[in-house]
Structure 1
Amino acid sequence: MLTKPLISVCLITYNHKDYINNAIESILKQKGLKEESWEIIIADDCSTDNTQTIISDYKKKYPKRINTILHKMNIGADKNFIGLLAKAKGKYIAYLEGDDFWTDENKLKIQFEFLEKNRHLVGCFGNSNVIDKNNRVIEKFFLKTKIPNEISQKDLWNSNYLGQTGTLMFAKSALDKIHPIFYKYPWDRILQFGLADHGNWGYIDKIFSSYRIHSAGTYSMIGSKKQLENLNEINKTIYSVKNWRKKYNHILRKKLSYLNLELYKQNVKEKNNLKKIKSMFAVLYYCESKTQAIKALLKNF
């Protein structure tokens, strides 16, 4: 068994029987690093399909390389993610979801060497392509704008600079120091934002993975209003942290007033009076210009 690996590859999954083989194989195909220098940890949240059987078969085939967490009861994606990260022993953590897969067989080697040469960075990421359930490429690039070589915490307010999770590698030492709010809300954006308290992110201009959009995917299952609500919750969570609120008060208020105004418009259309009132007061609270807020609300009443 590995004692202290350089890299922990953390694979999270739930009901991914049609895709989990691709994910695991893309990890096993990694080149350029000694096998004993990195570990694979797979956490499954009590899948109701054949996912756990497939994982168990891989565990039998690679008993020294693969560690598994196979939950017998569904604990939810957040707790599964936190539990998975807690098992990581590596200096660096690479993360992958069970319906995605890596496309570059040198991903781990490239990112490991990059971070070893740039010790001031908290982590790094690359680009992805976007595919459908049949592996057809929908979008050649997940990140469509030019990304700087280094991304600060402030830069992360530009959502175009947020790395897709399957391309991330970050220092476990930074995760050990992340703000406790992450363990209450272990979301991708909070992870990337919280880690940036301890250093910038680096960007490597390569396609490292395929990100899958399908009917059973976490994000593709929710509608536009729910996406707005999720973004609102993420920004409210960041706003709740005193140091972040102090550093980014203007940006946060602007984002939260915009998101709540959009939710207000949706609630007016749906004639949801309770949510309409809630979003109206949120706009008034977060908008720095009360006059501007009132005008916007009246315009969409």
Structure 2
Amino acid sequence: MNKSTNNSTLSAKPLVSISIITYNHKDFIVDAIESVLMQEVNFEYEIIIGDDFSNDGTQDILKDYEQRYPDKIQLILHPRDYDCIPGRINNITNLYACRGKYIAMLDGDDSWLSTDKLQKQVNFLEENEDFAVSFHDMMLYYQNGTIVKHSSKIAHYDQGKTVFTYKDVLSGWFIQTSSLLFRNHRIGEFPDWFWEIYSADYAIQLLAARHGKLKYFPDLFAKRNYHPQSFTATQNTTQTHLQRRKKELIFFEKYFPGYKAYQDYGQGKNRLKDALRNLKEKQLSHFPGNLTGSLVHLGKFVFNKDFSILEKVEIIDVDFIKKWKKKS
């Protein structure tokens, strides 16, 4: 299936495994790897890099790094394209190869910015057994030169929360993959449906969040690069993508009870946030669509038959009543 270098000089007992997946990232992969190597930590770690048959010179860069850091880097070089969702085998193979107590994820076109990011996240999980995941804010770099905080775009962060739960994750995607650190071995074998969905990283978050709380660090510990060759950019507009998204929703609704109601509530909040920003920034052409979208999702949430009125109030409590209690 794949070619592993089977590096026998790797640390025998790494506390953390960093999983990097890459495909044609020659312009970004050096920054990604160097941002891991610059981490100042007091524990052993390994770097598992899976390459999905790059043809732009990325593999040459990876082989050079493995020769220079044989005690830290293991390569898994996939010899061909697979007849499945792009990157899926690469992602799963990498995660199964991780031996650490914790797994940190990093996309090959992203990079970490802080030298103590990994140590801070690990310290927290080591000291708090009831938490399964830690993550942080990131800077988003767009092709047109725009740079924004990820947290500024997502309603989940509006109230200054630093502790999230499985229910928060159900309400919508808000965690950047390259900020994620989670406890290994709790997820177990990936279910069969995992091979058929589009949003693998979000599914990993859902699976991990069922085993404990999530700690958020508001620090800007990493950057994400948006570019035309990224997986998101190349896949989001295809007909196959839309079909997979429909199938994905069916799986999520089946295996994660309450998913639909939480999704409608979360998307309704985010669209309302966008509508209010449109008003503030006088982007009136976008305002009607965002306001209408917000009302549609919130309406679906209110009239959802799977939840009682009290259960719906409890979902809203997470955002509003808890904030009110903090101030009082």
* TM bucket, shorter chain: 0.7 to 0.9
Q: What does 1:270-285 align with in structure 2 at a 5 Å threshold?
A: none
Letter paired with 1:73 = R
1:16-68 CA distance string (max 9 Å, x none): 0111111111111111324xx11111000110110000000001111111111
Match of 1:173 among 159, 177, 185: 185
Structure 2 residue aligned with 1:65, among 45, 69, 72? 72
Q: Give 1:250 deviation, angstroms.
A: 4.2
Task: Say if 1:171 and 1:255 are closer, same or farther in 2 by CA, change over 3 A.
Answer: closer
2:206 alignment partner, one of 171, 189, 193: 193
**CA pair 255-24 structure 1, distance change in 2 beyond 3 A:** closer
Task: Choose the corresponding residue for 1:141, options 150, 162, 172.
Answer: 150
Q: Structure 1's 171 and 177: CA in aligned 2 closer, same or farther, altered over 3 A? A: farther
Tell me, yes or no, if the aligned pair for 1:26 and 1:103 is still in contact at 8 Å: yes
Q: What is the root-mean-square deviation in Å for CA atoms of aligned residues? A: 2.8
Letter in 1 for 2:137: N
Match of 1:77 in 2: 87
- How far apart in 1 are the matches of 2:213 and 2:190? 14
Secondary structure in structure 1 of the residue aligned to 2:67: helix
In structure 1, the partner of 2:12 is 3
User: Aligned partners of 1:178 and 1:200: how far apart in 2?
Assistant: 20
Match of 1:234?
Answer: 248
Give the Cα–Cα distance (whole angstroms) in 2 for the partners of residues 251 and 8 of structure 1: 32
- 2:171/2:259 contact within 8 Å kept: no
The normalised TM-score by structure 1 is 0.75
* d(CA) in 2 for partners of 1:225, 1:50: 27
| Structure 2 residues without counterparts, runs of 5 or longer | 1-9, 268-302, 306-328
Structure 2 residue 129 is the aligned partner of structure 1 residue 119: yes
CA distance in 2, matches of 1:240, 1:132: 35
Q: Which residue of 2 aligns with 1:299?
A: none
Q: CA deviation at 1:138?
A: 2.1
Task: Look up the SS of the partner of 1:219 in the other structure.
Answer: helix
Aligned to 2:62: 55
Structure 2: distance between partners of 1:250 and 1:73: 40
Superposed displacement of residue 220, structure 1: 2.3
**Equivalent residue, structure 2, for 1:204:** 217
Bigger shift: 196-205 or 57-66? 196-205
The answer to whether 1:163 aligns with 2:180 is no
1:121–1:199 contact (8 Å) kept in structure 2:
yes
Instruction: Report the residue type matching 1:96 in the other structure.
Output: L
Aligned to 1:240, the other structure's residue is in SS state helix
Q: How far is 1:218 from its partner? A: 1.4
Q: Is the 8 A contact 2:171 2:264 kept in 1?
A: no
CA contact 1:253–1:288 (8 Å) conserved in 2: no
The number of residue pairs the alignment matches comes to 252
Q: CA deviation at 1:137?
A: 4.9
In structure 1, C-alpha distance between the alignment counterparts of 2:134 and 2:111, rounded to whole Å? 17
1:38 aligns with 2:70: no
TM-score (norm 2): 0.69
The CA deviation at 1:126 is: 0.3
Letter aligned with residue 183 of structure 2: A
Q: Distance in 1 between matches of 2:265 and 2:237?
A: 20
**Amino acid paired to 1:218:** F
* Equivalence for 2:99: 89
Aligned to 1:268: none
What secondary structure, in the 3-state scheme, does the structure 2 residue paired with 1:198 have? coil
Say if 1:209 and 1:72 are closer, same or farther in 2 by CA, change over 3 A.
same
